[in-house]
Structure 1
Amino acid sequence: MRLRDAAMLVASAGWALLLHMLLLASSAPVERDMRVHAPVPPTRVVLLSDLHVATPGDSPARLRQTVAQVNRLHPDLVLIAGDFLSTDSLAFAASPGDAVAPLAGLHAPLGTIAVLGNHDDQGRRRLEALLPRMRVTLLENRAVRRGPLTIVGTGDTFTGHSRPAEAFAAARPLGGLTVALAHEPDVTPELDPSLRLVLAGHTHCGQIAPWPFGPLFTASAYGRRYACGVIHEGARSIIVTGGLGTSNLPLRLGAPPDLWVIDFGP
């Protein structure tokens, strides 16, 4: 093979890989499932995270499609683990109003509950005002009972808003099966030792995770410990979703967008 032919082949492969990464980043989220055996009535929870609403890829229109996908799963409760907004210089970030407007279309009998992420910090006040209008309950170091579940929402660790002891103190009088909702999984070691389930996002499952190397970067102080998926630490399970959107670059490799369908029951 001539050098010129080899160079053209390498260039073609590079463009094909780039196109694959762009298309994967904007694809419909993969639905991942987990069953949690507990003495509670059957309850379905859908976990979303890292919306990073911006154009062109992670647009409000794409979020509306995801909302329709979630509704087809017939959840009892929807949980959102933060990062509604995008702060990337390479994207045209949606306004907070446009970013959260599609969430009004979610249908879940027990409602929608969310926490904020590190990318939401600059738009915090706007989100605090807007999310309730979309029928989204925002928790920051607070707890709320929904059906058989008590959801404990911690503040964002990266921006210094996390006060887990305060959040769990609010949960104790509520009873129910306690579930922690956090943006960063890094808060896990600080949580009440009795807690059995933590739901988080933030890592994007690495976003770029080529086989066989896995995630190249997780934005976590714990490296790959909480990189992606289901992690078991003793009797505790941590679910880290890869989320919907992207940050830094609108690309994914080996880490598709995802959402989690968690079924509680005997």
Structure 2
Amino acid sequence: MIDWPMLSAIGLGHFCLAVLAVNILHGIGVPEGTPTRVVKVLSLTFLATVSVGMALLVASRPWESWPVMARGYAIACILVGCVGLPATTLARLLRKQPPGVRGGVTGVDLTRSIPRDELIGPAKDSFWLRIPGNQAFRVELSDWEVEHPGLPEPLEGLRILHLTDLHLTRAYSDRFFEAMIEQAEGFEADLIAFTGDLIDDAALLDRVGPLLSRFRGRLGRFAILGNHDYRTDAEGAFDALRSAGFEVVEGRWSSIEADGTRLAIGGTSAPWGPLPERSAEPGAGFRFLLSHSPDTLPWASRIGVDLMLSGHTHGGQYRLPLFGPVLLPSRYSRRYDRGFFRRGPTLMYVSQGIAAQHPIRVNCPAEISRFTLRCAPRRSAGARPHSARESIVVRG
């Protein structure tokens, strides 16, 4: 007789471990030249083999006669499914907004002003955009005021517009990308930041200039690449961003004079691209990092970055009620999904991005963000320094 409760507990835990493995695999950066499909096929084959093997054991043999390794894995699955999953879900639900962060989100449905068919491109996978419930044509305009204790007084009121994960692909029409940029243009900003994944189709590089050259920031426009840019055409993406008026700070530091104080701006798409050399960082009153992946937060904290903006995760793209995201390409799995996170002196924000290679979103619309920085009261000389421990907070 099949022990259905045991099989269910093992199956749930095995699913959680499989998700963890897939997320980490897609977050660590597969060696260049390794076909993505090969990695996916091998991963799915391994997971399916383990799943079938465990099911056969539960169905055909009593627990006492299981091989030691099989029993050990089964116990691990039960603990993960019955203890780990509820604990992490509860922790996610109990997240709180950080002190000094105010603002909110305005939702916009592009189909209210533009017919859906005009937003859909000619690619084969554009059929996803016709499925009811797909929120790919919704965008959340996030407008935040952030108090930061490390902000020099001359930078009080500095406004940063954050764009990420444009993913130029034929699944969406040109009108879709134009509409998204029009929404972003509604935010006035001093500095424009783009954090990678510009393209999924190199043939669309000529669209970058007309889209991104429309932005004006009195302190400049800065950009980095993402893993999809490296996969598609890194050199082409680099040139397109420069032609659109952006300074590409991929793997390096730059600095600007902003209202009488120096602002250091660094960029990285690690692990797919290089980290900026710490020794090359210009002396500055405030350090701002563009990082495609949020996984560089521990590194950023160690070198004293004040503010870090990231994308890459898309917020998970499909989020289940209560549970949150399932698949999220990060070596930390679902930890850095979206919103504000703090580690030591570094405050990070992870955006859900604009588009995606696979054009489907559920409970996770696109996002365009603006941050207005405010000076926060500084700690007294006798106050405790920033803890290296991490605090995690919701988007809002």
Q: Answer whether TM exceeds 0.5 for this pair.
A: yes
Contact 2:252–2:275 (CA<8 Å) still a contact in 1? no
- Runs of at least 4 residues off by over 4 Å: none
Pairing of 1:186-265 with structure 2 (within 5 A): 186-191=295-300, 192-247=302-357, 249-265=358-374
Q: Deviations over 1:158-202 (max 9, x none)?
A: 42x2224x1x333233x1311111101112222344222211100
Between the two proteins, what is the percent identity of the paired residues?
A: 27
Greater fraction of residues in helix: 2
Aligned to 2:133: 20
5+ long unaligned stretches in structure 2: 1-127, 376-396
Residue 143 of structure 1: CA displacement? 1.6
Separation of aligned partners in 1, 2:249 and 2:203 = 22
Name the counterpart of 1:171: 281
Could you give the per-residue CA deviations for residues 97-124 of structure 1, whole angstroms, max 9, x where no partner exists?
2245310111221221100000001311
8 Å CA contact 1:53, 1:94 repeated in 2: no
Distance 1:262 1:234, change over 3 A: same
CA radius of gyration, larger in: 2
Alpha-carbon separation, structure 2, partners of 1:233 and 1:49: 22
- Conservation of the 8 A alpha-carbon contact between 2:199 and 2:237: no
TM-score, normalization by structure 1: 0.81
Offset at residue 127 of structure 1 (A): 1.9
Q: 1:1-266, aligned counterparts within 5 Å? A: 18-21=131-134, 24-37=135-148, 38-39=151-152, 40-57=155-172, 59-86=173-200, 95-121=204-230, 122-146=232-256, 147=258, 148=261, 149-154=263-268, 156-159=269-272, 161-164=273-276, 166=277, 168-173=278-283, 175-191=284-300, 192-247=302-357, 249-266=358-375
Question: For residue 30 of structure 2, what is the aligned residue in structure 1?
Answer: none
Instruction: Work out whether residues 60 and 102 of structure 1, in 8 Å CA contact, stay in contact via their aligned partners in 2.
Output: no
| Letter in structure 2 aligned against 1:20 | G
TM-score, L = length of structure 2: 0.56
Count of aligned positions? 237
Equivalent pair of 1:145/1:176 in contact (CA under 8 Å): no
Distance of aligned partners of 1:18 and 1:65 in 2 relative to their CA distance in 1, 3 Å threshold:
closer
SS of match in other structure, 2:139: coil
| Aligned match of 1:9 | none
Contact 1:144 1:152 in 2 (8 A): yes
Asked if structure 1 preserves the Cα contact closer than 8 Å seen for 2:286 and 2:306, the reply is no
Select the structure with the greater relative contact order (CA < 8 A; seq sep ≥ 6).
Answer: 1
User: 5+ residue gaps in structure 1?
Assistant: 1-14, 88-92
Q: Which amino acid aligns with 2:340?
A: V
User: Residues 64 and 103 of structure 1 are in contact (CA less than 8 Å); yes or no, is this contact kept in structure 2?
Assistant: no
8 Å contact 1:48–1:80 — kept in the other structure? yes
User: Bigger shift: 117-126 or 232-241?
Assistant: 232-241
Return closer, same or farther for 1:141/1:158 CA change in 2, 3 Å cut-off.
closer
Flag the 1:100–1:20 CA change in 2: closer, same or farther, 3 A: farther
